[in-house]
Amino acid sequence: MSRLGDLGARLHHGEVGYDFIGKRMLWYGVSVLITITAIVGLGVRGLNMGIEFSGGAVFTTPKSTVSAQRAEEMAEEASGHQALVQELGNGGLRIQISEVDTAKSDQIKADLAEGMNIPADDINADLVGPSWGKQIANKAWMGLGIFMALVVIYLAIAFEWRMAVAALVALIHDITITVGIYALVGFEVSVGTVIGLLTILGYSLYDTVVVFDSLKESSRGILKQNRYTYSEIANRSINGTLVRSINTTVVALLPVAGLLFIGGGVLGAGMLNDISLSLFVGLAAGAYSSIFIATPLVADLKEREPETAALRRRVLAKRASAAARGESDAEAEGTARRSEDDEDGTGAHGATAAAGVSGPPAPRGGRRGRPSGRRR
């Protein structure tokens, strides 16, 4: 077995572990700091909305000797607005300019044709009105709202409402960070960005639901024992699924990183930038929130319940009593097990009898056994 597999087995069986729940205030502080930074970046820089949302024109030119940088300069001089130029596979150029109406589009097309020394009829111009972008934005917000409502309802039915609330907070956390990084980096928000944002919601929920399912199974009948608090069981659930979460996240991030750094950075594919950045940031934020935000938040909410709070007091009181008697942790756990077994009527004697185990057979008639060997 590999070292990672051995570590995963040890984490799953509780032989080793990290106290994620105990240090939850640290994780909360880190998340608040990152979220505030994202909100400040969003407020100061704002989002670079594409023509799908702000309206504009897209000019597609045939193959020419003009470089993309020179075409960008000509487009900005002709329009008075910032232009985005991408090289196409056939050697042509895609020139995108925001906030351009029909009359201005015809003038820009003529200037580009003259500057690039190509016929104006060979340049294809497509106009996008701002009303169309507004419709896309409204539908995206509607889809996001419906998705979150369905997620909350499903998790409340499949698990409980506290887990649904924690998952919703984690989703808002992931979306806020992703949008804030978009604002800080300055990437253009396009339809591909919206697709990427909606896609990461499923990835973000995947790890969260895996941990929640393990926590649900581990905490079944928790109030009938006095060995572990709810927070400790939640911490063991995180550790038990930690390696699985890391593996799935890394495997998902590798191809997305290829799209972002190779497809977008080296090849200069604009649409790949829009989708891959949102996916990359969202996947990383989703893996973080499922471990450091969602499950600790569930533990906090559960510890506020009277029954769970009473369980915590019993566990701590029993450990304090064991410490006063000088017992080790293993001995204290064994004492707690025997105490619970005696309360249930399944102590050591009862368990032995129930298992059908009997002692050594008594000698018959009290006669002394005759030694073996030949009779003289």
One domain, residues 172 and 258: yes
Residue 351: band (very low, low, confident or very high) from pLDDT cuts 50, 70, 90: very low
Other Cβ atoms within 10 Å of 291 Cβ, number? 24
Confidence of residue 153 (pLDDT cuts 50, 70, 90): very high
Residues 6+ apart with CB under 8 A from 75: 59, 83, 85, 95, 97, 108, 112
197-206, 212-221, 360-369 — which is least confidently predicted?
Answer: 360-369
Q: What is the pTM of this model?
A: 0.70
Same domain, 166 and 292: yes
- 189: tokens are 């928000």
232 and 294 belong to one structural domain:
yes
Question: Residue 10 domain-assigned?
Answer: yes
Same domain, 298 and 317: no
| Strand (E) or helix (H) holding 94 | strand 93-98
Average model confidence (pLDDT) for the chain? Answer: 77
pLDDT band at 346; cut points 50, 70, 90: very low
Q: Are residues 36 and 143 in the same domain?
A: yes
Distance CA 79, CA 197 (A): 31
Residue where a domain terminates, one of 128, 155, 181 = 128
Residue 363 lies in a domain: no
Q: 């972002």: which residue's tokens?
A: 260
pLDDT tens per residue, range 242-260: 888 888 888 888 888 887 7
Indicate the number of domains in the chain.
3
User: What DSSP string runs through 117-166?
Assistant: TS-GGGSEEEEE-HHHHHHHHHHHHHHHHHHHHHHHHHHHHHT-HHHHHH
Q: Quick one: pLDDT at residue 15?
A: 61
Claim to verify: residue 192 and residue 219 sit in the same structural domain:
yes
Q: Across the beta sheet with 93-98, what order do the strands follow?
A: 83-87, 93-98, 56-61, 124-128
123 pLDDT above the threshold of 90: no
Q: Residue 356 above 70 pLDDT?
A: no
Residue 156 belongs to a domain: yes
CA dist 174 and 148 (Å) reads 13
Give the pLDDT mean for 176-193. 83
**Full residue range of the structural domain in which residue 122 is found:** 56-128
For residue 294, name the pLDDT band (cuts at 50, 70, 90): very high
Which pLDDT score, from 0 to 100, does residue 366 have? 43
Give a yes or no: residue 372 inside a domain.
Answer: no
pLDDT for 167 beyond 80: yes
pLDDT over threshold 60, residue 2: no
Distance CA 196, CA 192 (A): 6
Amino acid at 294: A
Q: Are residues 117 and 191 in the same domain?
A: no
Look up the CATH number of the domain holding residue 258: 1.20.1640.10
| Assigned domain for 183 exists | yes
Query: Is a pLDDT exceeding 60 seen at residue 340?
Result: no
Is 284 within 8 Å of 253 (Cβ atoms)? yes
Please indicate whether residue 88 or residue 164 has the higher confidence score (pLDDT): 164
CA-CA distance, 315 to 310, in Å (whole number)? 9
- Whether the CA torsion 273, 274, 278, 281 is positive or negative: it is positive
Tell which wins on pLDDT, 87 or 211.
211
By CB neighbour count within 10 A (0-12 exposed, 13-18 middle, 19+ buried), where does 2 fall? exposed
In a domain, 374, yes or no: no
pLDDT at res. 276: 82
Residue at which a domain ends, from 93, 128, 163: 128
Q: How far is residue 78's CA from residue 108's CA, in Å, rounded to a whole number?
A: 6
Please give the C-alpha separations between residue 335 and each of 58, 342, 365, in angstroms, as whole numbers.
Answer: 76, 11, 41
Whether 110 and 255 map to the same domain: the answer is: no
Domain end point (choices 87, 103, 128):
128
In order of 9, 110, 219, 339, 356, the CA distances from 344 in angstroms are 31, 90, 19, 9, 18
Q: How many Å apart are CA 123 and CA 249, to the nearest integer? A: 44
| Residue 350, in any domain of the structure | no
**Co-location of 77 and 137 in the same domain:** no
What is the arithmetic mean of pLDDT over 204-224? 87
pLDDT of residue 343: 47
Mean pLDDT of 364-369: 43
Same domain? 333 vs 278: no
Evaluate whether residue 219 is within a structural domain. yes
pLDDT score, position 373: 46
Tens-place pLDDT, residues 48-78:
777 777 778 888 888 878 888 888 888 888 8
Task: Please check whether residues 105 and 19 belong to one and the same domain.
Answer: no
Residue 164 has a pLDDT of 92
Instruction: Give yes or no: residues 27 and 104 share one domain.
Output: no
pLDDT at 325 over 60: yes
